[in-house]
Amino acid sequence: MVDVAGIWGEDYYSYPGKSDFEWSEVSRSHISWCLWKQWKKVRTKYRNLIKLGLPDWAALSLANTRKAYWHIAGGSLNSALPNAYWANLGLMSLTNRYYEIRSAL
C-alpha cells in the first residue's frame, strides 16, 4: 500500500490559493457584508457605527458611501468590526479552531 500523503505531503490535499488566515478573513468579510446589508438606511448605519465606537466624521463618511456592500465589508468596515466584536458575539476564529483541531490529532 502506498502512503499518498507521504509522497505528496499534506499540501497536496489543501485548497489552493488560500492560506488559513485568508479563509478566516474572507469569512469575516462575508459576515460583515451581511450585517452592513441589514442596515438599510444611512441613519441606521450611522447610529450603529457610532455605537461601535467610530468617530463622528468616520461614521458619517462610511454611512454615506455609495460603494458596493462587498467593497465596504472587505475594507472599511473591518476597522469598526474587529475580531473582538465577533468573539463577543460567540463566533470562533476559523484559524484558531483549525489549529486546535490539528494539534489534537
**Residue 89: inside a domain, yes or no?**
yes
Long-range pairs of 17-24 with CB within 8 A, sequence gap ≥ 24: 20/94, 20/95, 20/98, 20/99, 21/95, 23/94, 23/95, 24/93, 24/94, 24/95
Higher confidence at residue 1 or residue 84? Answer: 84
Instruction: Domain of residue 81: give its range.
Output: 35-105
Q: What is the pLDDT of residue 47?
A: 95
Q: Is the pTM of this model over 0.75?
A: no
**Residue 48: inside a domain, yes or no?**
yes
**Residue 8: inside a domain, yes or no?**
no
Higher confidence at residue 20 or residue 54? Answer: 54
Number of domains in the chain: 1
**Residue 105: inside a domain, yes or no?**
yes
When pLDDT is cut at 50, 70 and 90, the band that residue 4 belongs to is: very low
Q: What is the pLDDT of residue 20?
A: 58
**Residue 41: inside a domain, yes or no?**
yes
- In tens, the pLDDT along 22-80 reads 667 777 788 888 888 898 999 999 999 999 888 999 889 889 988 887 778 777 787 78
